Amino acid sequence: MLQTFEWTPGGAGRIEIDGCGLEYRCHGPRPGEAPTVVMLHEGLGSALLWRDFPARLAAATGWGVLAYSRAGHGQSDLVDLPRPIDFMTREAEQVVPRLLDAIGFQSGVLLGHSDGATIAAIYAGSIEDFRVRGLILMAPHFFTEEMGLTEIARARDAYANDGLRDRMAKHHSDPDNTFRGWCDTWLDPEFKNWNVAEVIDYLRVPVLAIQGREDQYGTLAQIEEIENRSYAPVDVAILENCRHAPHLDQPERVLEVVTDYLERLRRIESEGFPEA
Protein backbone atom coordinates (compact mmCIF):
# COMPACT_ATOMS: atom_id res chain seq x y z
CA MET A 1 0.00 0.00 0.00
CA LEU A 2 1.28 3.45 -0.92
CA GLN A 3 1.57 6.04 1.79
CA THR A 4 2.27 9.72 2.20
CA PHE A 5 6.03 10.17 2.28
CA GLU A 6 7.37 10.37 5.78
CA TRP A 7 11.04 10.55 6.72
CA THR A 8 11.49 8.29 9.70
CA PRO A 9 15.14 7.62 10.55
CA GLY A 10 15.74 3.92 10.03
CA GLY A 11 12.32 3.63 8.45
CA ALA A 12 11.00 2.36 5.14
CA GLY A 13 8.00 2.96 2.95
CA ARG A 14 6.66 3.37 -0.56
CA ILE A 15 6.25 6.62 -2.44
CA GLU A 16 4.26 7.18 -5.61
CA ILE A 17 5.97 8.88 -8.55
CA ASP A 18 3.74 9.35 -11.58
CA GLY A 19 1.56 6.43 -10.56
CA CYS A 20 4.46 4.07 -9.85
CA GLY A 21 5.09 2.89 -6.29
CA LEU A 22 8.75 3.01 -5.29
CA GLU A 23 10.28 1.43 -2.20
CA TYR A 24 12.53 3.66 -0.09
CA ARG A 25 14.56 3.57 3.13
CA CYS A 26 15.93 6.56 4.99
CA HIS A 27 18.47 7.19 7.73
CA GLY A 28 19.59 10.17 9.76
CA PRO A 29 18.13 13.68 9.82
CA ARG A 30 15.34 14.86 7.53
CA PRO A 31 15.87 17.25 4.61
CA GLY A 32 16.05 20.75 6.01
CA GLU A 33 17.71 19.54 9.21
CA ALA A 34 20.91 18.52 7.39
CA PRO A 35 22.10 17.93 3.82
CA THR A 36 20.81 14.76 2.17
CA VAL A 37 22.52 11.94 0.24
CA VAL A 38 20.20 10.28 -2.27
CA MET A 39 21.49 6.85 -3.30
CA LEU A 40 20.89 5.31 -6.72
CA HIS A 41 21.60 1.58 -6.98
CA GLU A 42 23.21 -0.62 -9.62
CA GLY A 43 21.53 -2.55 -12.43
CA LEU A 44 20.49 -5.50 -10.24
CA GLY A 45 20.33 -3.55 -6.99
CA SER A 46 17.65 -2.18 -4.69
CA ALA A 47 17.30 -0.03 -1.60
CA LEU A 48 18.02 -3.02 0.65
CA LEU A 49 20.95 -4.31 -1.37
CA TRP A 50 23.05 -1.37 -0.24
CA ARG A 51 23.04 -3.43 3.01
CA ASP A 52 24.19 -1.37 6.00
CA PHE A 53 26.15 1.21 4.02
CA PRO A 54 23.41 3.93 4.05
CA ALA A 55 22.97 3.68 7.82
CA ARG A 56 26.72 3.76 8.40
CA LEU A 57 27.09 6.75 6.09
CA ALA A 58 24.39 8.67 7.96
CA ALA A 59 26.01 7.86 11.31
CA ALA A 60 29.50 8.84 10.11
CA THR A 61 28.53 12.16 8.49
CA GLY A 62 25.41 13.45 10.24
CA TRP A 63 23.80 13.79 6.80
CA GLY A 64 20.42 12.31 5.95
CA VAL A 65 20.58 9.34 3.58
CA LEU A 66 17.78 8.02 1.39
CA ALA A 67 17.97 4.97 -0.87
CA TYR A 68 15.16 4.00 -3.21
CA SER A 69 14.45 1.07 -5.52
CA ARG A 70 13.80 1.96 -9.14
CA ALA A 71 10.75 0.48 -10.87
CA GLY A 72 11.35 -3.21 -11.47
CA HIS A 73 13.68 -3.54 -8.47
CA GLY A 74 13.26 -4.62 -4.87
CA GLN A 75 9.68 -4.18 -3.74
CA SER A 76 8.90 -1.34 -6.12
CA ASP A 77 6.27 -1.70 -8.83
CA LEU A 78 7.31 -3.61 -11.93
CA VAL A 79 8.59 -2.00 -15.10
CA ASP A 80 7.30 -2.55 -18.62
CA LEU A 81 9.59 -4.71 -20.72
CA PRO A 82 11.55 -4.42 -22.87
CA ARG A 83 13.19 -1.36 -21.41
CA PRO A 84 14.13 1.32 -23.93
CA ILE A 85 17.82 1.71 -24.77
CA ASP A 86 17.82 5.14 -23.11
CA PHE A 87 16.29 3.88 -19.84
CA MET A 88 18.98 5.54 -17.72
CA THR A 89 18.39 8.92 -19.33
CA ARG A 90 14.63 8.53 -18.82
CA GLU A 91 15.14 7.69 -15.15
CA ALA A 92 17.37 10.74 -14.71
CA GLU A 93 15.08 13.17 -16.50
CA GLN A 94 11.63 11.85 -15.57
CA VAL A 95 11.86 10.10 -12.19
CA VAL A 96 14.74 11.61 -10.21
CA PRO A 97 13.48 15.23 -10.25
CA ARG A 98 10.02 14.16 -9.11
CA LEU A 99 11.51 11.96 -6.41
CA LEU A 100 13.68 14.78 -5.07
CA ASP A 101 10.66 17.08 -4.93
CA ALA A 102 8.52 14.41 -3.27
CA ILE A 103 10.98 13.80 -0.43
CA GLY A 104 11.48 17.50 0.23
CA PHE A 105 15.11 17.47 -0.92
CA GLN A 106 16.70 20.85 -0.18
CA SER A 107 20.45 20.43 -0.52
CA GLY A 108 22.86 17.53 -0.83
CA VAL A 109 24.44 15.06 -3.21
CA LEU A 110 23.54 12.17 -5.45
CA LEU A 111 25.49 8.97 -4.79
CA GLY A 112 25.18 6.34 -7.50
CA HIS A 113 26.65 2.93 -8.17
CA SER A 114 27.07 1.49 -11.69
CA ASP A 115 23.84 2.23 -13.63
CA GLY A 116 22.83 4.43 -10.68
CA ALA A 117 26.04 6.44 -11.02
CA THR A 118 25.30 6.97 -14.69
CA ILE A 119 21.77 8.13 -13.85
CA ALA A 120 23.16 10.55 -11.24
CA ALA A 121 25.64 12.00 -13.75
CA ILE A 122 22.97 12.35 -16.44
CA TYR A 123 20.75 14.19 -13.96
CA ALA A 124 23.45 16.61 -12.88
CA GLY A 125 24.55 17.18 -16.49
CA SER A 126 21.05 17.61 -17.90
CA ILE A 127 18.87 19.19 -15.22
CA GLU A 128 19.60 22.58 -13.68
CA ASP A 129 19.08 21.84 -10.01
CA PHE A 130 21.04 24.03 -7.62
CA ARG A 131 20.02 21.81 -4.72
CA VAL A 132 22.46 19.15 -5.95
CA ARG A 133 25.83 20.31 -4.65
CA GLY A 134 27.96 17.30 -5.55
CA LEU A 135 28.15 13.85 -7.12
CA ILE A 136 29.62 10.58 -5.87
CA LEU A 137 29.97 8.15 -8.77
CA MET A 138 30.98 4.56 -8.03
CA ALA A 139 31.84 2.42 -11.07
CA PRO A 140 29.89 4.60 -13.53
CA HIS A 141 29.26 3.70 -17.18
CA PHE A 142 29.32 6.34 -19.91
CA PHE A 143 29.85 4.05 -22.89
CA THR A 144 29.85 0.32 -23.52
CA GLU A 145 33.00 -1.79 -23.31
CA GLU A 146 33.33 -5.27 -24.73
CA MET A 147 34.62 -6.74 -21.49
CA GLY A 148 31.58 -5.43 -19.63
CA LEU A 149 29.17 -6.86 -22.18
CA THR A 150 30.97 -10.20 -21.94
CA GLU A 151 30.49 -10.19 -18.16
CA ILE A 152 26.79 -9.44 -18.56
CA ALA A 153 26.49 -12.39 -20.93
CA ARG A 154 28.09 -14.54 -18.22
CA ALA A 155 25.51 -13.23 -15.76
CA ARG A 156 22.77 -14.27 -18.18
CA ASP A 157 24.12 -17.81 -18.14
CA ALA A 158 24.39 -17.76 -14.34
CA TYR A 159 20.78 -16.60 -14.08
CA ALA A 160 19.62 -19.54 -16.16
CA ASN A 161 21.91 -22.23 -14.81
CA ASP A 162 23.79 -21.31 -11.64
CA GLY A 163 21.16 -20.25 -9.12
CA LEU A 164 21.35 -16.50 -9.66
CA ARG A 165 17.58 -16.33 -10.12
CA ASP A 166 16.98 -17.97 -6.73
CA ARG A 167 19.39 -15.56 -5.05
CA MET A 168 17.74 -12.56 -6.66
CA ALA A 169 14.29 -13.78 -5.62
CA LYS A 170 15.29 -13.10 -2.01
CA HIS A 171 15.58 -9.38 -2.78
CA HIS A 172 13.23 -8.61 -5.68
CA SER A 173 9.49 -9.20 -5.88
CA ASP A 174 9.85 -10.33 -9.51
CA PRO A 175 13.44 -11.37 -10.27
CA ASP A 176 12.63 -11.99 -13.93
CA ASN A 177 11.41 -8.43 -14.36
CA THR A 178 14.55 -7.12 -12.64
CA PHE A 179 17.04 -9.28 -14.49
CA ARG A 180 15.53 -9.00 -17.96
CA GLY A 181 15.11 -5.26 -17.58
CA TRP A 182 18.86 -5.01 -17.06
CA CYS A 183 20.41 -7.85 -19.05
CA ASP A 184 18.22 -7.78 -22.16
CA THR A 185 18.77 -4.05 -22.59
CA TRP A 186 22.53 -4.11 -22.13
CA LEU A 187 22.86 -7.06 -24.52
CA ASP A 188 20.58 -5.58 -27.17
CA PRO A 189 22.74 -5.16 -30.32
CA GLU A 190 21.66 -1.51 -30.53
CA PHE A 191 23.11 -0.86 -27.08
CA LYS A 192 26.70 -1.35 -28.30
CA ASN A 193 26.69 2.23 -29.61
CA TRP A 194 25.22 3.69 -26.41
CA ASN A 195 27.27 6.65 -25.17
CA VAL A 196 26.23 9.40 -22.73
CA ALA A 197 29.70 10.83 -21.99
CA GLU A 198 28.59 14.23 -23.28
CA VAL A 199 26.76 14.85 -19.99
CA ILE A 200 30.15 15.12 -18.26
CA ASP A 201 30.78 18.34 -20.18
CA TYR A 202 27.90 19.99 -18.34
CA LEU A 203 28.73 19.00 -14.76
CA ARG A 204 29.16 22.05 -12.56
CA VAL A 205 29.52 20.47 -9.10
CA PRO A 206 32.46 18.67 -7.46
CA VAL A 207 32.67 14.99 -8.33
CA LEU A 208 34.08 12.06 -6.38
CA ALA A 209 34.71 9.08 -8.68
CA ILE A 210 35.39 5.67 -7.14
CA GLN A 211 36.27 2.46 -8.94
CA GLY A 212 37.87 -0.88 -8.16
CA ARG A 213 40.93 -1.63 -10.24
CA GLU A 214 39.60 -5.16 -10.82
CA ASP A 215 36.11 -4.00 -11.82
CA GLN A 216 34.75 -6.72 -14.12
CA TYR A 217 32.14 -4.52 -15.78
CA GLY A 218 34.20 -1.50 -16.79
CA THR A 219 37.77 -0.30 -17.18
CA LEU A 220 39.39 2.83 -15.78
CA ALA A 221 38.62 4.47 -19.13
CA GLN A 222 35.25 5.36 -17.60
CA ILE A 223 36.95 7.33 -14.81
CA GLU A 224 39.45 8.89 -17.22
CA GLU A 225 36.51 10.18 -19.26
CA ILE A 226 35.33 12.13 -16.21
CA GLU A 227 38.80 13.49 -15.49
CA ASN A 228 39.35 14.56 -19.10
CA ARG A 229 35.96 16.15 -19.72
CA SER A 230 34.70 17.61 -16.45
CA TYR A 231 34.76 21.38 -16.02
CA ALA A 232 34.15 20.87 -12.30
CA PRO A 233 36.72 19.53 -9.79
CA VAL A 234 37.12 15.74 -9.79
CA ASP A 235 38.55 13.61 -7.00
CA VAL A 236 39.38 10.01 -7.88
CA ALA A 237 39.78 6.97 -5.64
CA ILE A 238 40.98 3.81 -7.39
CA LEU A 239 40.78 0.89 -4.96
CA GLU A 240 43.17 -2.03 -5.23
CA ASN A 241 41.91 -5.62 -4.91
CA CYS A 242 38.39 -4.34 -5.54
CA ARG A 243 35.82 -5.34 -8.13
CA HIS A 244 32.56 -3.76 -9.26
CA ALA A 245 31.01 -3.01 -5.86
CA PRO A 246 33.51 -0.93 -3.86
CA HIS A 247 31.06 -0.31 -0.99
CA LEU A 248 30.77 -4.09 -0.50
CA ASP A 249 34.34 -5.13 -1.33
CA GLN A 250 36.00 -2.37 0.71
CA PRO A 251 33.29 -0.71 2.82
CA GLU A 252 35.66 0.88 5.32
CA ARG A 253 37.77 2.55 2.65
CA VAL A 254 34.73 3.74 0.70
CA LEU A 255 33.12 5.11 3.85
CA GLU A 256 36.37 6.96 4.58
CA VAL A 257 36.71 8.60 1.15
CA VAL A 258 33.00 9.46 0.94
CA THR A 259 32.97 10.95 4.44
CA ASP A 260 36.05 13.03 3.66
CA TYR A 261 34.49 14.27 0.42
CA LEU A 262 31.24 15.25 2.15
CA GLU A 263 33.08 17.06 4.91
CA ARG A 264 35.10 19.06 2.37
CA LEU A 265 31.91 19.79 0.47
CA ARG A 266 30.27 21.02 3.65
CA ARG A 267 33.20 23.40 4.26
CA ILE A 268 33.00 24.72 0.71
CA GLU A 269 29.27 25.19 1.12
CA SER A 270 29.70 27.13 4.35
CA GLU A 271 32.14 29.47 2.59
CA GLY A 272 29.92 29.89 -0.45
CA PHE A 273 30.47 28.31 -3.86
CA PRO A 274 32.25 30.40 -6.48
CA GLU A 275 30.19 31.38 -9.49
CA ALA A 276 30.33 28.76 -12.28
The string of pLDDT tens digits covering residues 141-151 is 999 999 999 99
pLDDT at residue 48 in the model = 97
pLDDT at residue 269 in the model = 78
| CATH code of domain 12-142+196-264 | 3.40.50.1820
Percent of the chain with pLDDT over 70: 96
What's the rounded Cα separation, in Å, for the pair 271 and 105? 21
Q: Which of 183, 236, 240 is nearest to 210 (CA)?
A: 236
Q: In the chain, what are the domain boundaries?
A: 12-142+196-264
Strands (E), 35-193: 36-40, 64-68, 108-113, 132-138
Q: Which of 211, 259, 209 is nearest to 230 (CA)?
A: 209
What's the rounded Cα separation, in Å, for the pair 185 and 85? 6
Strands 108-113 and 132-138: parallel
**Average confidence (pLDDT) over 201-207:** 97
Query: Residue 15: enclosing H or E segment and its boundaries?
Result: strand 12-17
